[in-house]
Amino acid sequence: MRIFGILACVVGLVAGGFFATSNSSAHAVETVKIGLIEPLSGPIAAVGTDALQAMETAAEQINTSGGVLGGRMLEIVPLDNAMSAEKTTQQLKKAVDLGLSFIAQGIGSNHALNIIQFIGKHNKRNPDKAMLFLNHSAITTAFTNELCSFWHFRFDANVDMKVAGLVTQMGRDVGIKKVYMLNQNYAYGKSFQAAAHALIKERTPNIEIVGDELIVPFGKTQDFTPFIAKIKASGADTVLTGNWGPDLVRLIKYAAGANLPVQFYTIYGGLTSSVAGYGADAHKISLKQINEYHENDGNIAADALAFGNAYLEKYKDTWYSDRYRWLVGMLAAAIDKAGSDDPVAVGQALEGLTFPGPLGEVQMRASDHQIQTPLMVSSLSRDYKMPIMYKGNNFKIAFATDGVINREDTTLPTTCDMQRP
Amino acid sequence: MEVFVFSLFNGVLYGMLLFLLASGLTLIFSMMGVLNFAHASFFMLGAYFAYQISQPLGFWSALIAAPILVGLLGAAVERYMLRPVHRFGHVAELLFTFGLAFVIEELVQMVWGKVPVPYDVPESMNITAFAWQGLDYSAYRLFMLVISVGIFVALFFGLTRTRIGLIIRASLTHPHMAAALGHDVPKIFMWTFGVGCALAGIAGVIGGNVLGTEPGMAIQLGPIVFVVIVVGGLGSLSGALIASLFIGILNNMAISYDFSLYPIFKELGVERNVEGVLADLVNLTTGSIAPLLPYLLLVLMLIFRPRGLFGMRDV
Amino acid sequence: MPDPRKLGIGALIVALLIVLPMMISSSFALSVMNQIGIAIIFALAFNMLLGQGGMLSFGHAVYFGLAGFVTAHVINGMHVDAFPYIPVTLIPLVGGIAGLFFGIVVGFVSTRRAGTAFAMISLGFAELVTGLTLIIVFFFGGEEGVQTDRWVREEWFGITYGPDIQVYYLIAAWCVIAAILMYALTRTPFGRMSNAVRDNPERTQFIGYNTHRLRWLAFALSSFFAGLAGALHAINVEHVGFETVGLGQSAVILIMVYIGGTGHFAGPILGAILITLLNAYLSDVSPAWYLYLGLIFVLIVMFAPGGLAGLIMMHEPIRRTAPYLLWQMAPAYGAALGTSLVGLAGAIGLIEMIYFRSTTVSLDSALVLYGIELDTGDIWPWLICAALGAAGGYGCKMTYPRVAEAYSAAMHEARALVTT
């Protein structure tokens, strides 16, 4: 009896609660809203809040120069997924409630895949309320190959392109003879591994792969001494790794501790969270990373540099991922070109659109919705103009360019068979 | 043979760090019967305190001060929070420490942020002590080894050969008699808990700069430490030592030798390029699953010898 | 024959469950309700272990998640005719059977011991399975998990499970069925023996029962219902990822059940609803939400081991004998509530400000709290919050003993009424 009494109370309570919240859904569409689904709470919230900060700054730039469609402002709507698949789906439903047409996300390929699948189904079932997915950092190559979709646009170079850049740069260094590959044992690490095998064979056949290792990912591997020992024993002069987070931090810390005389070619070696992790150890070994922008390079386009410096000035954070600026800027340009914020029209306008990037023009390839961009490989060095800053902390270390990878060298064929609405 | 000895040595280095962490946990468990889920969180606090203290005062001050702070905090937690829960039984105590681990992780993020902090090995010990197989071993790695061995010896003799150890053990087995003899049993428990946490704090101070100091470090290392004390036998200090060393060495051997299931499959006529279920198994090597081996060991141990290596009774 | 009033309230709940979604238009709210339904089944299943069997598991999500993976594969198999067609309406049973299977296999080893040892083993298994999710890609799909499409074909009455509302009714129906089944289980001899093993395993052994077998049975049945919930999760989200078997998921369900209360059947339901709602709505408001959750949990463990349901049910004898006594207690409760709110306002203010200073995105020092814009660079907000917290804390110290007095006085009076 009493049990059912409590139950009835609780169900009633919930009913009341939903009444209170359910009529807050309709909104007048004044601004053009972009929903940003990222982890804004939980253990990796720092990455999510940084993305939010970058997106908001990029939107602000568009807004101060007059917005889109002759005066409508862009607005970033933060949606916290706490890095859980369930909450990602929930926030997508919230985005539907709010009538958002543009969803941006990038942290976690698994969540990006969820969004692609959700939007695919949603747009099929509700063609009048379609949504576009603007992917800023989820780099699983398959999203623009076999899983490609008209509704998905990627503004970051995919794994294969980044590996192509790293391998191309390795080919320029005649000292590199033997490379050791160390990757995380999951989808991303394996796709890095596969791309590296193919591209080394194709572009730098003289480099010998002397080791190929997969480790248990996400911080589960505590002691890297045996891996360091194996790298040393293999006689490798270079380590090529896609690792990120604690798996990269510990690898570098242990290698530095053992004075391992090799170079590290990485994708994520320059992320703030990585640099904060190895601290002063980073300069002891030669650590290289690939991305699209850094402020110490003399050839960066003036407007990109101005934006990055303003960002640094405002937040005391080094501007690192210029692609946020491309994403917002290209979306604004596409909306103006389409003459409306209708997602289908904007999607069509985005296809083939170009944008002035920091190293030259970038272009959204129409055939697979993958941005085509030059990249640069840089080393973490103590010899720099401007140090890496994060929330006012000076890491006393910064990027120095090793080489720029031209767009032709990062352009790879696609297997995408695009179905357009 | 060289590889074997080399892996053995590296395994001991890692195993002793695990032991340092497990010693405090097993001390608390053997004295109080409390399995402290938040133990790795005190390890994390040790690393963060050491980072904070070493910024202005240097590593040596941190080495002394951080474990004391962690120990005092642990004692306070026992006195004001764990003791009231004691009357609800061991499962409630375990739940409390579980919740505490959750809260400590959030507090650490609140105070120090969510990205790692740059806590580094002190420059004075970041010099090469010796080189072996082309790898440099810093003086710091040796220092870690010396500290861990020193703590094992001190704990072992402290508990078995001194009067304090005698009283502590008496309080556990015969609390009423110990109290009747004029010993303040709750106070003994409080300080035991404090010392256990301080040991975790020491592990944090000397391990945090090698493993990286970040909010996720507790949850990454915590479960391994539980494996150590279960495999070693709950409450056995020597068992914890053997299990730590074994897991450390197992980890290194698994990676160095990198055994594969492929030869077995080849005998069965399965090739590397097979599709489907077998694809994942054929290409599996011990190196790629090394961090999972301790859990496998735990499961096997529980099936075949539930009391652990040196346990007095089944877990 | 069941009590007619019981049946009446039961019917009322079912009617509410049917009408509720018709009254709301938000698909976000609907997805939260779906999640609540799944959480209720999972929480009740978990409480079969923790509350009724006395087994604390840190890895029960393993059975929830594994069943989810099996379900996703079965549905995907049905799409390509690799599996015989089963109506999606009945697919949760497949998940349940998968959960039961894994529960039987793992439970045989892990239920040999209860208490601390059982908890450790559950943790070890959870870590092992979590590690394997990323390695055995064929089954777990690696980091990206397994995607599925619940729209297989039209079933009875044109149901396709395309629209969320149909999934809501599926979950609601299974939730009611599972709850009734689990409630009925507590009334069987098995349920009673499960309690006996929890309370006094030795005596249970003396009267001729095999405690290991009883725990094993409880574990397997609990895994069945956890699997049922996992299957519904797979259908609801149409995706199963590695985090569904992980420690985080296990921790959340443990926290839910314990906050709700392990000693009463309705406790886990209360916890599931409350925590899921807070998680859905509060996490957008405060970045410190997990800290609050942890603190609530710790406070419950320390001061109210019966959970919220325990706190409510403490008053049941008074309500039953003399409801007017509850009104006599109201002033003391009101005073305690008032001082608690003052203390909370201060503490929350401090926590939010520290969080804001350490993790926030901008260097602006202004934080909007309780609708007021605060400048965290200024000393005043800190002093005011600290003062509120101190005043509230001191007030609580004064008012809480009054609550205890009022309660025991009322109980005393109620008892006197019963005896006379």
Q: Which residue, among B48, B80, B83, B106, would best test binding to C if mutated, counting the most C CBs under 10 Å from its CB?
A: B106
pLDDT given for residue A22 in this prediction: 41
Instruction: Tell whether B252 is within 8 A of chain A (Cβ).
Output: yes
- Whether residue C283 and residue A15 make contact (CB cut-off 8 A), yes or no, is no
Banded model confidence at residue A5, pLDDT cuts 50, 70, 90: low
Banded model confidence at residue B289, pLDDT cuts 50, 70, 90: confident
- Contact list, B212 vs chain A (CB under 8 Å): 246, 249-250, 253, 277-278
Section C413-419 average pLDDT: 82
- SS percent in chain C: helix, strand, coil, step 5: 75, 5, 20
- Whether residue A11 and residue C359 make contact (CB cut-off 8 A), yes or no, is no
pLDDT given for residue B45 in this prediction: 96
C-beta of residue B23 within 8 angstroms of C-beta of residue B198: no
DSSP states along B240-293: HHHHHHHHHHHHHHHHHH--BSHHHHHHTT--TT--THHHHHHT-BGGGGGGGH
Q: Is A1's pLDDT higher than 70?
A: no
Q: Which residue of A has its CA nearest to B123?
A: A280
Beta-sheet pairing, A371-372 with C239-240: unpaired
- Contact list, B91 vs chain C (CB under 8 Å): 54, 56, 115-116, 119
The tokens of A213 are what? 């290792």
pLDDT given for residue C366 in this prediction: 62
Which of 85-124 (B) contact A at CB < 8 A? 105, 109, 113-121
- Whether residue B121 and residue A277 make contact (CB cut-off 8 A), yes or no, is no
- Whether residue C294 and residue B88 make contact (CB cut-off 8 A), yes or no, is no
Angle between helices B139-161 and B185-211 (to 10 degrees): 170
The pTM score is 0.85
pLDDT given for residue A21 in this prediction: 45
Q: What percent of chain A has pLDDT over 90?
A: 55
Q: Is B307's pLDDT higher than 70?
A: yes
Instruction: Tell whether B7 is within 8 A of chain A (Cβ).
Output: yes
Q: Is B54's pLDDT higher than 60?
A: yes
The pLDDT tens digits of the residues spanning C48-98 come to: 999 888 889 999 999 999 999 999 999 888 888 888 888 878 889 999 999
All structural domains of chain A = 30-157+297-372 (3.40.50.2300), 160-291 (3.40.50.2300)
The tokens of B286 are what? 């011990």
Of the candidates A4, A22, A314, which has its C-beta nearest C6's C-beta? A4
Which of 70-89 (B) contact C at CB < 8 A? 81, 84-85, 88
C-alpha pair distances (Å), A88 with each of A115, C59, C169? 8, 23, 22
Compute the mean pLDDT over every residue in chain A, rounded to the nearest whole number: 87
Q: Is the dihedral of CA A261, A269, A364, A118 positive or negative?
A: positive
Give the distance from CA A375 to its chain's centroid: 14
- Whether residue B110 and residue C125 make contact (CB cut-off 8 A), yes or no, is no
Q: Which of A4, A102, A111, A112 is closest to A59 using CA atoms? A: A102
From CA B168, how far away is CA B165, in angstroms rounded?
A: 5
- Contact list, A44 vs chain B (CB under 8 Å): 114
From CA C368, how far away is CA A395, in angstroms rounded?
A: 31
The 10 Å Cβ neighbour count of residue B300 is 12
Q: Is A6's pLDDT higher than 80?
A: no
pLDDT given for residue C295 in this prediction: 93
Q: How close, in Å, is residue C411 to chain B by CA atoms?
A: 23
Comparing A129-143, A337-351, B111-125, C62-76, the range with the smallest average pLDDT is B111-125
pLDDT given for residue A60 in this prediction: 92
- Whether residue A232 and residue B135 make contact (CB cut-off 8 A), yes or no, is yes
Q: How close, in Å, is residue B3 to chain A by CA atoms?
A: 9
Q: Which helix (H) or strand (E) holds A213?
A: strand A208-215
Q: Specify burial of residue C32 (Cβ count, 10 A radius: 0-12, 13-18, 19+).
A: buried
Residue type, C16: L
Banded model confidence at residue B310, pLDDT cuts 50, 70, 90: confident
Backbone angles phi, psi at A179, to 5 degrees: -120, 140
The residues, any chain, with a CB within 8 Å of residue C157's CB and separated by 6 or more, are none
- Whether residue B118 and residue A254 make contact (CB cut-off 8 A), yes or no, is no
C-beta of residue B231 within 8 angstroms of C-beta of residue B308: yes
Q: Is A266's pLDDT higher than 60?
A: yes
Of the candidates B117, B128, B255, which has its C-beta nearest A230's C-beta? B255
Q: How close, in Å, is residue B193 to chain A by CA atoms?
A: 26
- Whether residue B287 and residue A213 make contact (CB cut-off 8 A), yes or no, is yes
- Contact list, C269 vs chain A (CB under 8 Å): 7, 10
Q: What is the CATH number of domain B2-304?
A: 1.10.3470
Q: Is A28's pLDDT higher than 50?
A: no
Instruction: Tell whether A279 is within 8 A of chain B (Cβ).
Output: yes
- Whether residue A253 and residue B212 make contact (CB cut-off 8 A), yes or no, is yes
- Whether residue A185 and residue B288 make contact (CB cut-off 8 A), yes or no, is yes
The owner of tokens 């949760």 is C92
Banded model confidence at residue A126, pLDDT cuts 50, 70, 90: confident
From CA C139, how far away is CA B278, in angstroms rounded?
A: 11
- CATH ID of C4-303, from 1.10.3470, 1.10.10, 3.40.50, 1.20.950: 1.10.3470
Which of 230-249 (C) contact B at CB < 8 A? 247
- Contact list, B215 vs chain A (CB under 8 Å): 43
From CA A147, how far away is CA A418, in angstroms rounded?
A: 9
Which of 14-73 (B) contact A at CB < 8 A? 14
Q: How close, in Å, is residue C32 to chain B by CA atoms?
A: 24
- Whether residue B111 and residue C358 make contact (CB cut-off 8 A), yes or no, is yes
Q: Which among A407-411, C318-322, C352-356 has the top mean pLDDT?
A: A407-411
C-beta of residue B120 within 8 angstroms of C-beta of residue A279: yes
pLDDT given for residue A47 in this prediction: 83
C-beta of residue A263 within 8 angstroms of C-beta of residue A282: no
Of the candidates A46, A227, A281, which has its C-beta nearest B120's C-beta? A281
Section C384-405 average pLDDT: 89
Q: Is C172's pLDDT higher than 50?
A: yes
Q: How close, in Å, is residue C348 to chain B by CA atoms?
A: 13
The pLDDT tens digits of the residues spanning A156-212 come to: 999 999 999 999 999 999 999 999 999 988 778 888 999 999 999 999 999 999 999
From CA A326, how far away is CA A371, in angstroms rounded?
A: 10
pLDDT given for residue A12 in this prediction: 52
Q: Which residue of C has its CA nearest to A218?
A: C131
Q: Is A325's pLDDT higher than 90?
A: yes
Banded model confidence at residue B73, pLDDT cuts 50, 70, 90: very high
Banded model confidence at residue C363, pLDDT cuts 50, 70, 90: very low
- Whether residue A221 and residue B290 make contact (CB cut-off 8 A), yes or no, is yes
- Whether residue B88 and residue C305 make contact (CB cut-off 8 A), yes or no, is yes
Q: Is C155's pLDDT higher than 90?
A: no
Select the more confidently predicted residue: C162 or C417.
C417
Q: Is C151's pLDDT higher than 80?
A: no
Of the candidates B10, B248, B290, which has its C-beta nearest A216's C-beta? B290
Q: Is A29's pLDDT higher than 70?
A: no
pLDDT given for residue A27 in this prediction: 43
Q: How close, in Å, is residue A170 to chain C by CA atoms?
A: 29
From CA A264, how far away is CA A285, in angstroms rounded?
A: 8
Q: Which among A213-222, A255-264, B68-77, C210-219 has the top mean pLDDT?
A: B68-77
Chains with ≥3 CB–CB distances under 8 Å to A: B, C
Select the more confidently predicted residue: B35 or A6.
B35
Q: Which among A1-5, A237-241, A415-419 has the top mean pLDDT?
A: A237-241
Banded model confidence at residue B315, pLDDT cuts 50, 70, 90: very low
pLDDT given for residue A203 in this prediction: 94
Q: Is C316 helix (H, G, I), strand (E, B) or coil?
A: helix
Compute the mean pLDDT over every residue in chain C, rounded to the nearest whole number: 85
Instruction: Tell whether B291 is within 8 A of chain A (Cβ).
Output: yes
The pLDDT tens digits of the residues spanning B177-205 come to: 888 888 888 888 899 899 999 999 999 99
The pLDDT tens digits of the residues spanning B224-246 come to: 898 898 888 877 888 899 999 99
From CA B244, how far away is CA C409, in angstroms rounded?
A: 56
Select the more confidently predicted residue: C309 or C355.
C309
From CA C40, how far away is CA C24, in angstroms rounded?
A: 21
pLDDT given for residue C367 in this prediction: 67
The pLDDT tens digits of the residues spanning C240-261 come to: 888 888 888 899 999 999 999 9
- Whether residue A25 and residue C241 make contact (CB cut-off 8 A), yes or no, is no
- Whether residue A216 and residue B288 make contact (CB cut-off 8 A), yes or no, is yes
Which of 79-118 (C) contact B at CB < 8 A? 109-110, 112-113, 115-117
